[in-house]
Amino acid sequence: MKVFLSWSGDKSHKIALAFSEWMPCVINAIDPWVSSKDIDRGSIWFGEIFEQLNDTSLGVVFVTRENQNKPWLLFEAGALSKGLSENRVCTVLVDLSVRDIESSSPLKHLNHTVLERDSIFELIKTINKKVDGKNVKESHLETAFSALWGDLEAKINTILRESPVEEINTRSDGDVLNDILDNVLTINKKVSKNSGHGKYVDPHHAEALLNRFLKMDLDRGDIEEALEDIVPGHWTGKKLRAIFGNEKDQ
């Protein structure tokens, strides 16, 4: 099974190559493909991409602080998304987090993996599930992954240590909050339109949203303001009283 590995820039390329050498040792049936061309050079190679997509089963995009907005990386991610079905495009976030990706980015809604053991194992399990007829039994997969993880981890650490640190504008809590609200409101409008329900999100969505705001260390007033149009006031009040007590923040 072919796995298309997309990269842009030196750090992304080195990480992609490390994965391409390591992944077949864990799952023998996969065949990672990494282009030898740096897509930042602007080579016109649409034909090569789509030729590879003809027998590609899954795509992995290696995203860095430097390349996340590069047109050619976004083009490859888009080509993969259009060419592959069943949500078979994932990212590996090399030196940034999900919150650093703008909500308008085509990369935002892909399946994200960070360079941590558990996250990479989830990616490997996802790939294994797509191997028709030759997938590895999960208990054996975990054994192989555990035995080989140290090799990949060492290569990743060396690459990151030897690569220069690139500057990135860290997104503020306010920007992240606005993105969350925009996404929730958009989803809620669609759900309300199709189901005939009112303007409020479902309770489990409200609970998840409240927990996200609490993790961002927002104060009581900010949380109330953020939730007022999408969650019933009595629900919010009850939850916040349990967390902050009866007195509002001054």
CATH, range 2-162? 3.40.50.10140
Per-residue pLDDT reduced to its tens digit, 229-244: 677 888 888 888 888 8
At 122 the pLDDT is 94
pLDDT at 113: 94
Beta bridge partners of 62: 92
Q: What are the domain boundaries of the chain?
A: 2-162, 173-244
Q: What confidence score (pLDDT) does residue 79 get?
A: 67
Are 94 and 115 spatial neighbours (Cβ–Cβ below 8 Å)? yes
pTM across the whole model: 0.62
Per-residue model confidence (pLDDT) at position 239: 85
Can you give the pLDDT at residue 173?
Answer: 56
21-59 burial string, b = 16+ CB within 10 Å, else e? ebbeebbeebebebbeeebbeeeeeeeebeebbeebbbb
Q: Which H helix or E strand runs over 205?
A: helix 203-215
Q: Which of 202, 24, 228, 196 is nearest to 127 (CA)?
A: 24
E strands, the chain, are 2-6, 31-34, 56-63, 89-93, 111-114
Q: What is the pLDDT of residue 179?
A: 55
CA distance 37 to 8: 9
Say if residue 176 is exposed, middle or buried (CB neighbours under 10 Å; 0-12, 13-18, 19+): middle
CA pair distance 1, 131, nearest whole angstrom: 6
pLDDT score at 92: 95
**Tens-binned pLDDT, residue by residue, of the chain (250 aa):** 888 898 888 899 999 999 999 999 999 999 898 876 544 444 445 556 656 666 677 889 999 988 887 766 776 777 676 656 555 788 999 998 888 887 667 787 788 999 999 999 999 999 998 887 788 998 899 999 999 999 999 999 999 999 876 555 555 555 555 655 555 555 445 444 444 445 666 676 677 677 767 766 667 887 787 777 677 888 888 888 888 876 554 4
What is the model's pLDDT at position 38?
A: 44
Task: Tell me how far apart the alpha carbons of residues 1 and 27 are, in angstroms, rounded to a whole number.
Answer: 10
CA nearest neighbour of 105 among 152, 137, 57, 73: 73
What phi-psi label fits residue 110: left (phi over 0), alpha (psi between -120 and 50 degrees) or beta?
A: beta
Round to whole Å and give the CA distance between 144 and 141. 5
